[in-house]
Amino acid sequence: MTQAASLEFWFEFGSNYSYLSLMRIEELTEAAGVPLLWRPFLLGPVFRELGWSTSPFVLQEAKGRHMWRDMERQAQKYGLEWRRPCVFPRAAVLPMRVAVLGAEETWMGEFCRRVMRRNWVEDREIDDAAAVRAALAGLVPDPDAVIAAALEPGNKLHLRANTEQASRRGVFGAPTFFVGDEMFWGNDRLEDAIACAAACRQARAI
């Protein structure tokens, strides 16, 4: 198994299009036999490097207006529940730190789906201990211990390092996918990225 035959998924809980991909990606990669590598990062610092104070969907009214309608259509297309949140973009630092900690754990996918659902379906706060504890409930023996570990300085630096790496690799939004050095941007490129990874795996098996 090689890095180039895996799919890196760079995402953020506050990203609306990341929601569409995250709710589908584990099932799709498993069906394709493609290893999934979770890569949580923070969009805020990336946007600031690009000279934006917040999401371009906020800065550009017309783009934002289109995005909300597009999200309705896309959620319907994929059979996903959806509600426009009253806060956008919603802060997600704590759950992102937990995601960094859990990136290679078996509970990662379900934890992420629960956080996304809380934000994009239930329109509820996600960036506090109570919300994260609820998302971890039943997935780990001690949610409070996981939260404490996520708040350790080393793990905070890990999330910062992920974000810096994303910027160095040319990530400018989420979701972004990598197959080796090949970059795919946007929820509508998820299937293309998976197909690329599957083709790489097949080629290396010959």
Give the per-residue SS3 of 82-115.
CCCCCCCCCCCHHHHHHHHHHCCCCCHHHHHHHH
pLDDT of residue 32: 97
pLDDT beyond 70 at 140: yes
What superfamily in CATH does domain 3-205 come from?
Glutaredoxin (3.40.30.10)
pLDDT of residue 201: 85
pLDDT of residue 205: 72
pLDDT beyond 80 at 142: yes
Number of H helices, E strands in the chain: 10, 4
CA-CA-CA-CA torsion sign (117, 121, 127, 133): negative
**Domains of the chain by residue range:** 3-205
pLDDT of residue 20: 98
| Strand partners for 7 | 36
| Residues 99-136 pLDDT 10s | 999 999 999 999 999 999 999 999 999 999 999 999 99
Tell me what the mean pLDDT of segment 182-195 comes to: 98
| Strand partners for 138 | none
Token code pair at residue 121: 């379906």
Which residue type is seen at 1?
A: M
pLDDT band at residue 5, thresholds of 50, 70 and 90?
confident
Token code pair at residue 142: 């001690």
Q: Mean pLDDT lowest for which of 147-151, 189-193, 199-203?
A: 199-203
Percent of the chain with pLDDT over 90: 95
Q: What is the mean pLDDT of the chain?
A: 96
pLDDT band at residue 2, thresholds of 50, 70 and 90?
very low
pLDDT of residue 185: 98
In angstroms, rounded to a whole number, what is the distance separating the alpha carbons of residues 102 and 134?
Answer: 15
pLDDT of residue 206: 62
| Residues 51-69 pLDDT 10s | 999 999 999 999 999 999 9
pLDDT beyond 80 at 39: yes
Helix or strand or coil: residue 185?
Answer: strand
pTM of the model: 0.95
pLDDT band at residue 4, thresholds of 50, 70 and 90?
low
pLDDT band at residue 202, thresholds of 50, 70 and 90?
confident
